[in-house]
Chains A and B, each alone.
Chain A
Amino acid sequence: MLKYLLLILMLATPVLAVQPDEILDDPVLEARARVISKVLRCLVCRNENIDDSNAELARDLRLLVRERLVAGDTNQEVEDFVVDRYGEFILLMPVFNLSNAMLWFAGPILIIVGGRISLVFIRRRSAGSALSESLTDEEQKKLDAVLNA
């Protein structure tokens, strides 16, 4: 009894991420669909891409992506298509534009500025002191000679 009850229950459960029936026959197209699915947000989920999501909406989006691919769209065209419909929010990787420039440049700018500051700091630490970079080879030879004598 329990078993049958369960099986009925199971039929009512939400669909899982990528279903066997969604998969395209053409493995190249399917692979592209998977790549695109990984950068599209499931809009009703919390920080989940449509490839991983169990939500109905994610399934609809996965089917939409595949539909566009079968129709001959490039990856970029598919992304543009969904962005047109759902807004930029759907992209898990923000596009590079003027308003997002600071996001993309934050790392490079910080490493350049920080690197510059560190270099000046280290230079100041080593300058003005009796420390030369290191012993020259000749000095090392002399030292070795003294030590080994």
Chain B
Amino acid sequence: MTAELGHFALILAFAISIPQIFIPMIGAHKDWNNWMRFAAPAAIAQFLLVGLAFAMLTVAFVTSDFSVKLVVANSHSAKPMLYKVTGVWANHEGSMLLWITILTLFGATVAVWGENLPPSLKARVLSVQSMIGAAFLGFILFTSNPFTRLSQPPIDGNGLNPLLQDPGLAFHPPFLYLGYVGLSMAFSFAVAALIEGKVDAAWARWVRPWTLAAWIFLTIGIGLGSWWAYYELGWGGWWFWDPVENASFMPWLMATALLHSAIVVEKRNALKSWTVLLAILAFSFSLIGTFIVRSGVITSVHAFANDPERGVFILAILAVAIGGALTLYAFRATQLQSTAVFSLVSRESGLVMNNLLLTVAAAVVFVGTIWPLVVEIATGAKVSVGAPFFNIAFTPFMVVLAMILPIAAMLPWKRSNLKRIIQPLWGIAALSVALGAAVWVMQTGGRMLAPVGLTLAFWVIAGAVADVASRVKLGKAPLSESIRRAGNLPRADWGKMFAHSGFGLMIFGISAIMAWEFEDIRTVEIGETFPLQVYELRFDAVEGIQGPNYTAARGEFTLLKDGVEISKLYPEKRNYTVSGTKTTEAAIDQSLLRDVYVVLGDRQSDGSWAVRSYVKPFTNWIWVGVFTLAFGGVLSITDRRYRVAATARKAAMPAVPAE
């Protein structure tokens, strides 16, 4: 019953999405209020129905209903409950259902919390949102039905890929989807604004919270994914420039650019047509990402050709959405002239630089990601574009970005004197370079990466703090005055400080691990102690253990420093009995200064074991940086100017009787 109910709810949602496209759009065009008012209840109904379908699929997974094909293929009765739930979206059909659930969720938030929007804009936004919804509901219903039943249910399921059975990955897809599907809001607002022919500060203020929310989720989602890769995928790599990773990283870069350009629209009424274009492009990259991941086209053109139905369907959605939006843009963008003036040295210019660097960086990632495909289609040859290329082609843009960030962030709007703005930053610049030089002298190897990285990291972080310090006149005014000013500082300014510092912390973590990682590979006998950089590692024992759905050999290691025990480490080699898959579970002794990372290898013929161990300095700062970035976003989204809008709306709203 549950599966049929879910399927039926999806069909109903699809049936509602079609009129939701036309009725509000025509209503907005003709200025018919009752037609426009159709949009909100329709969007809410769409969300409730899709949500019901999602709940039904979850029930099927939780109760291990093996008459549903998807459950058989991706679940097993012996799987822990958490992974039965996450199994819902750890497959093609389920992940598309999650995608559409989140899409309709965002539509519903506009319907519920969008009372302060002009009725025509709200109607058009929900109409555009429903176009995307209808396209993807059609995709699910016609090519990827998650509720297909089997006529002869098997006794048990096939289980879930063991690599995916991990708490870090369990929550990675929902966050990621909240992020890049959330960008659909920016897209819908942009298209609606083009149809209206009006983009102003108010538009930017409405679109910003949604973009910011999407960006926060995307940041956390990518962070969780890379953290999972770090401890689960072997040797402690945290970013592989895999097409699937790039698929989420490109929208992130574009969303970051969009957040910055939307500020210019909001505060200065400039960069309007560019911001609209960015909003379209950001979601276009989300769609391209979905296509890349879901069609298998990047792994091999042949994989795509074997099962072209889904790929062609998404490609069609992609072409219509992106092509349509850009065509509309071409016709309407000229109407979005802004009159604001600013000089070469101004915050506006700084934000233009930010946008230039971020979009070009995204374009480089895009070209690198699709290059093998382009070459294969054009010449039939197979080439690879991997991490070494991206490290060289992408990094320079981030270096330049980090160099100009503290200066640009302190520039006032309209015009400024560069000399005066730079003044408080000279000291920081000198300190950063001195720090880098000191590191260069102290380290033994000649790699420039660590000194340069540290210089940039310190420059960005101290610059972000100096910005706030100068805003509150720290040191220039009495302390009590500075504290009073700090209390009055808008939260968005604190958000800016945290977000920029987060970027600096990431640079620090990344350059530290790339420059100073220490690796040791050797065979070790049980009972043997061997030196590991400044530590010693003792291999105590190996024992067989039985997990809920796997068996494992678990090594026991003692980490010592100068003979004193620091901690015990238990790396495992697991064998998942249902699928026969084997995985290695690294053991990590974590701290903010360094991670000691131990992997148990194979047993050698002489009875000893291969052991790989690493000392990875300051690694966790990468993720501290990611979460500081996201925290900055959270502070920004709770800024007074959005809350004021919210209270104004509440005051205007009639009291709702309790149910």
List residues of chain A with CB under 8 Å of any chain B CB. Answer: 2-3, 5-7, 9-11, 13-21, 23, 38-39, 41, 46-49, 52, 54, 87-94, 99-100, 102-104, 106-107, 110-111, 114-115, 118, 121-123, 125-126, 129, 131-135, 140
Contacts of A9 in B (CB 8 A): 551, 575
6 residue pairs from A and B, CB less than 8 Å apart: A13-B573, A48-B240, A94-B389, A103-B367, A110-B360, A134-B416
Give the shortest distance, in Å, between B302 (CB) and chain A (any CB): 14
Q: Nearest residue in A to B340 (C-beta to C-beta)?
A: A125
Asked if B341 CB lies within 8 Å of chain A CBs, one says yes
Known contacts A16-B612, A52-B235; A122/B385 CB under 8 A:
no
Asked if B423 CB lies within 8 Å of chain A CBs, one says no
Q: Nearest residue in A to B353 (C-beta to C-beta)?
A: A118
Cβ-defined contact, B345 with A5, below 8 A: no
From A6, A102, A111, give the contact of B553 (CB < 8 A): A6
Give the shortest distance, in Å, between A136 (CB) and chain B (any CB): 9
Q: Nearest residue in B to A30 (C-beta to C-beta)?
A: B521
From A3, A13, A48, give the contact of B544 (CB < 8 A): A3
Known contacts A14-B582, A17-B235, A131-B414; A126/B356 CB under 8 A:
no
Contacts of B414 in A (CB 8 A): 131
Cβ-defined contact, B389 with A93, below 8 A: yes
Alpha-carbon separation in the docked complex, A34 to B242 (Å):
21
Tell me how many residues of B have a C-beta within 8 Å of chain A: 70
Cβ-defined contact, B344 with A122, below 8 A: yes
Asked if B543 CB lies within 8 Å of chain A CBs, one says yes
Known contacts A47-B243, A123-B344, A133-B344; A88/B582 CB under 8 A:
no
Known contacts A17-B235, A20-B521, A47-B242; A126/B388 CB under 8 A:
no
Cβ-defined contact, A49 with B386, below 8 A: yes
Most buried by B among A48, A93, A121: A93
B contacts with A: majority SS: mixed
Asked if B167 CB lies within 8 Å of chain A CBs, one says no
Alpha-carbon separation in the docked complex, A140 to B546 (Å):
77
Cβ-defined contact, A93 with B544, below 8 A: no
Contacts of B582 in A (CB 8 A): 13-14
Interface of chain B residues 403 through 444 with chain A (CB within 8 A): 414-417
Interface of chain B residues 348 through 405 with chain A (CB within 8 A): 348-349, 352-353, 356-357, 359-361, 363-364, 367-368, 371, 375, 379, 381-389, 392-394, 396-397
Asked if B234 CB lies within 8 Å of chain A CBs, one says yes
Contacts of B299 in A (CB 8 A): 46
Contacts of B392 in A (CB 8 A): 93
Alpha-carbon separation in the docked complex, A41 to B385 (Å):
10
Contacts of B542 in A (CB 8 A): 7
Kindly supply a per-residue 1/0 record for chain B positions 571-591, scoring 1 wherever the CB is within 8 Å of any chain A CB and 0 otherwise.
Answer: 001010000001010000000
Known contacts A16-B602, A99-B375, A114-B356; A126/B341 CB under 8 A:
yes
Give the shortest distance, in Å, between A126 (CB) and chain B (any CB): 4
Cβ-defined contact, B237 with A52, below 8 A: yes
Kindly supply a per-residue 1/0 record for chain B positions 322-357, scoring 1 wherever the CB is within 8 Å of any chain A CB and 0 otherwise.
Answer: 000000000000000000111111001100110011
Alpha-carbon separation in the docked complex, A129 to B243 (Å):
47
Contacts of A20 in B (CB 8 A): 521-523, 601, 604, 610
Known contacts A52-B234, A100-B383, A118-B352; A131/B601 CB under 8 A:
no
Q: Nearest residue in B to A93 (C-beta to C-beta)?
A: B388
Asked if B603 CB lies within 8 Å of chain A CBs, one says yes
Cβ-defined contact, B384 with A89, below 8 A: yes
Contacts of B235 in A (CB 8 A): 17, 52
Interface of chain B residues 53 through 82 with chain A (CB within 8 A): none
- If A20-B601, A38-B388 are given as contacts, then 15 extra A-B residue pairs at C-beta distance below 8 Å, sorted by A number, are A6-B553, A10-B602, A13-B582, A16-B612, A20-B604, A21-B523, A47-B243, A91-B384, A92-B384, A107-B367, A115-B356, A122-B348, A123-B344, A129-B341, A133-B344
Cβ-defined contact, B356 with A118, below 8 A: yes
Asked if B10 CB lies within 8 Å of chain A CBs, one says no
Give the shortest distance, in Å, between A13 (CB) and chain B (any CB): 5
Cβ-defined contact, B345 with A134, below 8 A: yes
Alpha-carbon separation in the docked complex, A3 to B348 (Å):
67
